[in-house]
Amino acid sequence: MNIWILHAGWDISLNISQRRGRYVHLIEELERRNHSIVQWIPTFNHYTKIHEFSQNTIKRYSNNHDVYFIHANGYTHNVSLQRIFFYIELGQKFRTMIKNMHKPDVIISGIPSVEWCYEAARYAKDNNIPFILDVRDLWPDILLTIIPKIIRPIGRIILYPFFNKMQYACRNASGICGISKNYVQWALRQANRPTTPCDKIFYLGENTYEISNLDRDNCLAKIRKMGVDVQKTLCCFAGLFEKSYDVETVINAAHFLQNNNDESIQFVLCGTGSKLEYLKKKASGLNNVVFLGWCDQKLMHVIGTLSSIGLIPCSHDAMQSLPNKPFFYMSHGMILASTLRGEMNEIIFNHDIGFTYEFGNYKQLATTIRDIVHEPRKLNMMKQNSLELFEKKFKLSTITSEFTNYVESFVC
């Protein structure tokens, strides 16, 4: 079976320290089952904001895996006009490149990139090819979050062509899958149809990860040198210091705990982003907050094994339903402290694996953490619940196998 996979993020593993994304695992399993894959991705790396190639480039990564890198002008900010134009250019170039190509047996296109989803849906419909839409982000809806609420109706009118294209892609999908129940339901509303057996949820999940004792010792020495106190209860945040995450409230909670002489808890903040320097200044004078910067997979694994609480401090207008970090946290037996309502809140409540707090309420965050930490039996029980739920429902190897079966079902 010949499969095309389109995703405008940077979902390809070029080095062992890089996080392996959803499609890296899917492609590996498809190859293991002797399928051929043509992967379409931009030359522009979404995470580093640099071009990996200066022009359209085709590379063969194995006998069954070709990657078509499409060159388009990049962007500085994730939610911006630059990114819209980037997607438009990708769509135009994809439409030109596929005209004389051998037709695939099935096409998978991931949101975001309205244009790639639209062009793939149109090509699949014209050529009677099964088309799977994989909802990984809520584009173009997310663009409305940068527009003041009072003029968002005008923004929706301006963005109408993008909403129209996304609706076309949803309505012409042979099957809709996504990383959460809410995301799949969103796409079904765009398609204006009920759920069918061809619509599935495949969570992002996480794989368990092991490192050598030597690597562990090296990582442990490094984070201790950077200020992590492994004798304290660690609260871990791993993500981008951008508008989508309310790390300010985490720092305010740290201030509250320090001012109340609670020295048993430390916040370990991992990542980079445009708000990093601002947040460091805000945390000035705190001895219970440590910034570790960007951490590779080995370092994150060690931090995960040492941490008890995983922080999911999403902003009040965040459109995430289930981001990837909860699965990393659960794979290490952390309990979750989240601002997300809906599906994430249901999982936390139904399985007793943490708590939800109000956006911006630093006192609630601080006191809830303090109360749980001061009840070791309760904390350990919740940590065990978290790890058991991960093993049962969110292990990536199982999810990938089920995702591959799903793709095969459209042709085999």
Q: Are 118 and 139 in contact (CB under 8 A)?
A: no
Q: Which residue has the tokens 């994430």?
A: 344
- Per-residue model confidence as pLDDT tens digits over 380-396: 999 999 999 999 999 99
- Per-residue model confidence as pLDDT tens digits over 95-146: 999 998 999 999 999 998 899 999 999 999 999 999 999 999 888 888 887 7
Residue range 2-205+395-409 in CATH 3.40.30.10: no
* pLDDT value for 80: 79
- Per-residue model confidence as pLDDT tens digits over 7-45: 987 766 554 445 567 899 999 999 999 999 999 999 998
Distance between CA atoms of residues 107 and 116, nearest Å: 11
Which residues pair with residue 383 across a beta bridge? none
Distance between CA atoms of residues 303 and 216, nearest Å: 10
Q: Are 45 and 13 in contact (CB under 8 A)?
A: no
Distance between CA atoms of residues 357 and 373, nearest Å: 16
Distance between CA atoms of residues 65 and 12, nearest Å: 11
Domains 2-205+395-409 and 213-393 share a fold: yes
Distance between CA atoms of residues 407 and 130, nearest Å: 10
Distance between CA atoms of residues 364 and 29, nearest Å: 44
User: Which of the two residues, 183 and 80, has the higher pLDDT score?
Assistant: 183
Distance of CA 398 to the CA centre of its chain: 18
Residue among 134, 72, 132 nearest 106 (CA): 132
- Per-residue model confidence as pLDDT tens digits over 133-163: 999 988 888 888 778 889 989 989 998 999 9
* pLDDT value for 12: 67
- Per-residue model confidence as pLDDT tens digits over 279-322: 999 999 999 999 999 999 899 999 999 999 999 999 887 767 78
Average pLDDT, the chain: 93
Q: Which residue has the tokens 């936390």?
A: 348
Which residues pair with residue 135 across a beta bridge? 111, 178
- Per-residue model confidence as pLDDT tens digits over 326-381: 999 999 999 999 999 989 999 999 999 999 999 999 999 999 999 999 999 999 99
pTM: 0.86
User: If you average pLDDT over residues 79-89, what whole number do you get?
Assistant: 87
Distance between CA atoms of residues 336 and 327, nearest Å: 10
What's the length of the chain? 412
- Per-residue model confidence as pLDDT tens digits over 222-275: 999 999 999 999 999 999 898 889 999 999 999 999 999 999 999 999 999 989
Rounded to the nearest 5 degrees, what angle is found at the Cα of 388, between the Cα atoms of 382 and 393? 125
Domain ranges of the chain: 2-205+395-409, 213-393
Q: Are strands 57-62 and 65-70 parallel, antiparallel or unpaired?
A: antiparallel
Q: Are 322 and 246 in contact (CB under 8 A)?
A: no
* pLDDT value for 412: 64
- Please give the share of the chain, as a percent, with pLDDT higher than 90: 80
Q: Are 286 and 254 in contact (CB under 8 A)?
A: yes
What's 213-393's CATH class? alpha beta
